[in-house]
A = this chain, B = another copy of it.
C-alpha cells in the first residue's frame, strides 16, 4: 500500500481535518442556505479563508480576481453567518451552511444560480 493510499484512507475515514488543496492552495466551498438547503454560491477557500471563517463564524473566501482574502459582504453588507461546515470524503470540498444577511449574488439575485441551461442556451430558472 502506498503512502498516498494511506493518506486517502485517513482523509476518508479519519477524525482529523486534513483539507486537500489544489496546486494553487485552494479548495471548493459550496454555500447553502441552512434553512432551505438551496445552493447560494460556489467559491474558493485557502488555508487562511478557512481559518478566518472558523474564528469569526462569518464566511471568508479567497478571491482569485482580487488575489486576496475576501469576506463575503465586506462592501455590500450581505454577509453569510456560518451555521455548520461539512467536509467531503476526500476533504477537497466543503459545504458552508449559512444564514445570509441579504441577497448572496453580486447581481442582486438571491443566489448565483438564477439561470437554467436548456437546449437553446440559458433561461431564467423556473421554480
Most buried by B among A14, A106, A109, A112: A112
Most buried by B among A13, A16, A84, A95: A95
What is the minimal beta-carbon distance from A22 to any residue of chain B, in angstroms? Answer: 9
What is the minimal beta-carbon distance from A117 to any residue of chain B, in angstroms? Answer: 4
Contact residues, A8-64 vs B (CB, 8 A)? 12-17, 28, 30, 32, 36-39, 41-42, 54
> Do the beta carbons of B117 and A85 come within 8 Å of each other?
yes
Alpha-carbon distance between A105 and B12 when the two chains are bound, in angstroms:
11
> Do the beta carbons of A121 and B15 come within 8 Å of each other?
yes
Partner of A122, one of B41, B87, B95: B87
Residues of A within 8 A of B (CB): 12-17, 28, 30, 32, 36-39, 41-42, 54, 84-89, 93-95, 105-107, 109, 112-117, 120-123, 125
Q: Would you list 10 pairs from A and B whose C-beta atoms are within 8 A, ordered by A residue?
A: A15-B120, A30-B30, A32-B39, A39-B39, A42-B93, A85-B116, A87-B122, A89-B105, A93-B112, A93-B113
